[in-house]
Structure formats: C-alpha cells, structure tokens
Amino acid sequence: MGKLEYIVQKAGDNAYPLHLGVDERREVLVLQECPGKADFDIRLGSGAQLDLTVISMACSKAGACAEPRNIVNGFKVNLDSENAVCNLNGVYLVDSGNRVTNKVDMNHNVGHCISNQLFRGILWDSSRSDFEGRIYVAPDAQKTEAYQANNNIVESEQARAHTQPHLEIYADDVKCSHGATVGNKESGELFYMQSRGISLANAKVLLKQAFLLGVLEKISDDDLKEEMSMKILSSLR
C-alpha cells in the first residue's frame, strides 16, 4: 500500500474526489475538529482499493473551533469495475449540543467487489448522531460482499443516536450483513473489571477505548494510529 495521506479538515465545505485507477491503492485519514461538511466522491477502478478513515471530533475538549461543532459527512461510492475494495471507517465523539451525520451511499454496480463500513461513536450531553447507510447491489452484481456496522455508546439520557441501515439487494449470489447497536456499556464487563480492583470510572474509560480501538486499528501507520488514539483518549470521560 502507498503512503497514508493524512488530512486535517478545514471548517466549511470540503470536497474529496477519490477516483482510483486500475489496481491503485490509497489510504486516507481525515481528522475533523471544526464544523463543516465533507463530500467524499469515491470511484474505484478495477482491482483498486481505498481505505478511508474519518475521525469526527465534535466534542468540546478537542480542537479550537467554536461550537456548535456540527459535522456532516456524505460518502458516495460507485463500484463500477470488478475486484475493487472499499473500506470506510468512522469514529465520532460528540458532546454538548453538537451533531455528527454520516451518510453512506454504497453502490455495487458490478459484481466481485467488496465493501466494508465500520462506524463507531460515543455521545454525551444533549448531542446527536445520525448514521444512514445505504447499500445497493445491482441485479447482475453477483459475488458482491458488502458489510456494514454502526455501534453507538450513549452516555446521557438527552443524547440521541439515530442509525438507519438501508439495503437494496437485487443480486442473489452475494454476502451482505449489517448491524447496528445503540446502548450503554455492558454491566457484566464493568462488574468483572471492578471485581479485579479497577474502579468504575477507569473501567468505563478502558471499555470506551477498546470500543474505538476496534476502528482505529484499521489505520496502517503506527505513528498516526498512536497520535489519533492519544487525541481520542484525552477526550474520553
């Protein structure tokens, strides 16, 4: 894989045309700490692979931009050539009255392509997140593999995590799955940790770290992975 491209997103509207040629491989990491909109227009040539990770920090502890820090991401993916692989990863931390939206439109227009979507977020205060994930598999797009997961930890009664998977599958020889969870942490895990002497507050942070690490581990560059982990860790509570 080529070198990872790391982009710190500016406030306002942002366009990301990600058009990969035949057998091209790109890994892109986008850090969002300011309010704004991002449109990812993704087209992959035959045998191409894109690994895109978007970290949305709509929380008061991160970044210098003023609140409200609303972040809207649109991912429009067209898989028009065979054997392409598209991996979309998202992490969002949202607090106070902020809001993060991730809208994915994953189009398997031809067969033999693979797509993975993994979005995880934590919400505090009266924040809100929206995840809309559409997977479209065209009638002759056989041997498609399309997976989607959106997991949310909601830390306050006032916070809202909306998640809406939407699958339109017109081919019959495909592997597709989607899963969405919204919840607080498992009390069994917390009690187990407490019973070993890990205080409740620390146990909660460890579990949240582990939850987000499931996405961050997709970043191939160890230094950037560490930098992102530290940034996120310092915003957890």
Partner 1 sequence: MGKILEIKNLHAKLKEGREILKGIDLTINEGEVHAIMGPNGAGKSTLSAVLAGRDTFEVTEGEVTFMGENLLEMLPEQRSWAGIFLGFQYPVEIPGVSNTNFMKAAVNEHRKAKGLPELSAAEFIRMMKEKMAIVQMNQSFSSRGVNVGFSGGEKKRNEIFQMAMLSPKLAILDETDSGLDVDALRIVGNGVTQLKTPQNASLVITHYQRLLDYIVPDIIHILYDGRIVRTSGAELAREVEDKGYDWIIKSL
Q: Which of 214, 127, 201, 204 is nearest to 162 (CA)?
A: 127
Q: Which of 191, 226, 230, 233 binds partner 1 (CB under 8 A)?
A: 191
SS3 86: strand
Phi-psi region of 96 (alpha: psi -120 to 50; beta: other; left: phi over 0): left
By the rule CB under 8 A, 213 interacts with partner 1: yes
By the rule CB under 8 A, 210 interacts with partner 1: yes
By the rule CB under 8 A, 188 interacts with partner 1: yes
Of 88-96, 126-134, 203-211, 218-226: span binding partner 1 (CB under 8 A): 203-211
Q: Which residues contact 143 (CB under 8 A, 6 or more apart)?
A: 111, 112, 173, 174
Q: What is the DSSP letter of 48?
A: -
Tell me how far CA of residue 113 lies from CA of 83, 140, 150, 205, in angstroms: 5, 12, 21, 37
By the rule CB under 8 A, 196 interacts with partner 1: yes
- Of 97 and 214, the one with the shorter C-beta distance to partner 1 is 214
State the minimum distance, in angstroms, from the CB of residue 227 to partner 1: 19
By the rule CB under 8 A, 207 interacts with partner 1: yes
Q: Which of 36, 211, 218, 219 binds partner 1 (CB under 8 A)?
A: 211
By the rule CB under 8 A, 199 interacts with partner 1: yes
State the minimum distance, in angstroms, from the CB of residue 187 to partner 1: 8
Amino acid, single-letter form, for residue 42 = I
Would you state the torsion angle of the CA atoms of residues 209, 213, 215, 217, taken in this order, to the nearest 10 degrees? 160
Tell me how far CA of residue 63 lies from CA of 13, 32, 134, 137, 234, in angstroms: 18, 9, 31, 39, 12
State the minimum distance, in angstroms, from the CB of residue 119 to partner 1: 16
By the rule CB under 8 A, 193 interacts with partner 1: yes
Q: How far apart are CA 139 and CA 137, in angstroms?
A: 7
Q: How far apart are CA 4 and CA 145, in angstroms?
A: 25
Q: How far apart are CA 187 and CA 204, in angstroms?
A: 10
State the minimum distance, in angstroms, from the CB of residue 189 to partner 1: 5
By the rule CB under 8 A, 142 interacts with partner 1: no
State the minimum distance, in angstroms, from the CB of residue 191 to partner 1: 6
State the minimum distance, in angstroms, from the CB of residue 183 to partner 1: 15
By the rule CB under 8 A, 237 interacts with partner 1: no
Q: Which of 192, 226, 230, 234 binds partner 1 (CB under 8 A)?
A: 192
Of 11-19, 79-87, 169-177, 198-206: span binding partner 1 (CB under 8 A): 198-206
Q: Are 131 and 102 in contact (CB under 8 A)?
A: yes
- What are the residues binding partner 1 (CB under 8 A)? 188-189, 191-200, 202, 206-207, 209-211, 213-214
